[in-house]
Amino acid sequence: MSLKKEISRRRTFAIISHPDAGKTTLTEKLLLFGGAIQVAGAVKSNKIKKHATSDFMEIEKQRGISVATSVMCFEYRDILINLLDTPGHKDFAEDTYRTLTAVDSVILIVDSVNGVEEQTRKLTEVCRMRDTPVIVFVNKMDRDGKFPFELLDEIEKELNLQLHPMTWPINMGREFKGVYNLHNKSLNLFAANQKVTEDNSVPIPSLDDTMLDEKVGERDANQLREDAELLEGVYGELDKEAYLKGEVSPLYFGSAVNNFGVKELLDTFIDIAPEPLGRPTNKRFIEPTEDKFSGFIFKIHANLDPRHRDRIAFLRVVSGEFKRNTYYKHTRLEKDVRFSNPYAFMAREKEVVDESYPGDVIGLYDTGSFKIGDTLTEGEDLQFTGIPTFSPEIFKELVNKDPMKTKQLEKGIRQLTDEGVAQLFTQHGGNTKIIGCVGELQFEVIQYRLLQEYGASCEFKPLSFYKACWITGDKKKVEDFVRFKQANIMQDKDDNLVYLAQSAWFLNTEKQNNPDIEFHTTSEFKTAMA
């Protein structure tokens, strides 16, 4: 099969939402449609031993939340779908931000009861910055929540999205009867706990058809006619090109837990979602149709399988064809590497693949040579851009509680911070180790995983730092600054100098006093210097 043909049958997307909006549940329903799994897991119930397919870490099972991005691929209507299920919890937002660099479109879930929430805003901002195409799924329509028109206004205003309703609900909560598909003129009747194979769609070409009254009752039929007329006048037909540019977002209503509205969502996604797109580098823009292979690492996960101390780097194929047992250039290390067992994923399950194409996400067994943002090519010396590390918000000193396990602690903290969930800073000229995170939960996860996976016991001592800034500039000026501010100078894992500011006032003062030094709040400067 030709490269263009392989590209045309692939879609790569992420599901994003605020915690508890139903993201993992929707993921599993999509997998059920693709025949990738036979039974959905129970995310919330601790009494049930089946857990969500995409939540494989022990701490995720205990707490019923997703704290790591999972990669899953499945086929539907002869289209190969690469689905990335992201953490919803705000403390793991950075993992989600980086995941958004590896996808071509997004499905955003909004809880009909709670409406737009904080994490939904932050994630949508990242999509808006990148003009990522977004499809919105309003979930939990089987519960009493906000009225549809109210939700429409709220989503458009709060998230700066131009919506285009594709389906429209008939009531909600206990009175929820289903949705009318404005796009293909059919009525989809709601029944709790529908099976994936069931299709309760009734063709109703005209809303004047008396069958509508028979199915939903005269009062609800008349309300639907009124709503549909208004929507038709305001929105008209969906402009696919506007969607692909990130200017318009198709909107669906449903109930993921009841498997309702999921099929319409998936069918539309297959029809309109973009094929794999190219990516910018520090040298030029790479198109997916280019013959030569290129790709980048956007995530690293240690101990994916607790029985084997493995370390997997997740690579997004950008162009050409990735082949097993072929040498490729690791551009940062300037050396050739090859992989005998590249993996495709179904959450925790993985299988060896012989070749992969643009849009595919594959797992590469890593002995410690990869960092997030690394680039592999077929020989060209370039670096993919736009995969930054951000300054942490919370800083704590790592304290070893068991000196006999110092080696295990050192290895564990290096591997876990390589995953990008937290950052490791070491005192310049000393041994003090400081962990920087976006949220408190990350420290809990690190402490848990160090003990469970490496047998290392630790605790964290809070520190009152405001922000971490990478410093570059005139060599002599930087050396003088480091000497004067030694207590605040750290080194990251790549030995770049980092200044930890106590407050915004201190940071602004240092910027004014040191005009020859640049204070970077993201690691993007590394790519610019490459």
Q: Are residues 303 and 249 in the same domain?
A: no
* Domain edge (last residue) among 272, 294, 320: 272
The pLDDT of residue 344 = 85
Kindly state whether residues 41 and 165 are assigned to the same domain: yes
Residue 384 counted as domain residue: no
Which of the 8 DSSP states describes residue 91? G
pTM equals 0.81
Looking at the fold, whether 323 and 470 belong to one and the same domain comes out as no
Question: Domain containing 413 — which CATH number?
Answer: 3.30.70.3280
> Which positions of the chain have pLDDT values less than 70?
1, 36-69, 87-94, 195-199, 302-310, 346-349, 388, 524-530
Q: Are residues 216 and 318 in the same domain?
A: no
In three-state form (DSSP H/G/I as H, E/B as E, the rest C), the secondary structure along 219-263 is HHHHHHHHHHHHHHHHHCCCCHHHHHCCCCEEEEECEHHHCECHH
CB atoms within 10 A of CB 130: 14
Q: Please identify, among 377, 407, 426, the residue that sits at the C-terminal boundary of a domain.
A: 377
- What does the pLDDT read at residue 88? 53
Identify whether the C-beta of residue 98 lies closer than 8 Å to the C-beta of residue 298: yes
In a domain, 388, yes or no: no
Say what the pLDDT of residue 482 is.
95
Q: Residue 460: what are its φ and ψ, rounded to 5°?
A: -120, 130
| Domain-located, residue 343 | yes
Please give the tally of structural domains in the chain. 3
Closest listed residue to residue 111, CA positions, set 157, 145, 156? 145
Other CB atoms within 10 A of residue 279 CB:
23
Tell me, yes or no, whether 36 and 162 share the same domain. yes
Confidence (pLDDT) at 50: 40
**210: Cβ–Cβ under 8 A, 6 or more apart, which residues?**
none
Residue 528, pLDDT score? 46
Identify the domain boundary among 314, 342, 377. 377
For residue 346, being part of any structural domain is answered with yes
- H/E run at residue 281: none
Claim to verify: residue 227 and residue 305 sit in the same structural domain:
no
Domain shared by 320 and 450, yes or no: no
Residue 474 and residue 339 in one domain: no
C-alpha distance from residue 249 to each of 128, 176, 236 (Å): 11, 24, 13
CATH number at residue 186: 3.40.50.300
DSSP letter at 440 equals H
Q: Residue 57 class from Cβ within 10 Å (0-12 exposed, 13-18 middle, 19+ buried)?
A: buried
Dist CA 146 CA 65 (whole Å) = 25
Q: Which residue range is the domain that position 311 belongs to?
A: 279-377
Cα atoms in the Cβ-side hemisphere of radius 13 Å centred on 449: 29
Closest CA to 269 of 34, 36, 54, 6: 34
Same structural domain, 402 and 466:
yes
Whether residue 103 lies inside any domain: the answer is: yes
In-domain check, residue 326? yes
Return the bridge partners of 518, or none.
Answer: 472
At 197 the pLDDT is 60
Relative orientation angle of helices 23-33 and 262-272, to the nearest 10 degrees: 70
Residues 80 and 143 in one domain: yes
Shared domain check, 288 and 255? no
pLDDT in tens, 500-524: 999 999 999 999 999 999 999 877 6
Instruction: Kindly state whether residue 400 falls inside one of the protein's structural domains.
Output: yes
Is the dihedral angle over the CA atoms 120, 10, 241, 170 positive or is it negative?
negative
Q: Specify if 259 maps to a domain.
A: yes
Q: Are residues 263 and 289 in the same domain?
A: no
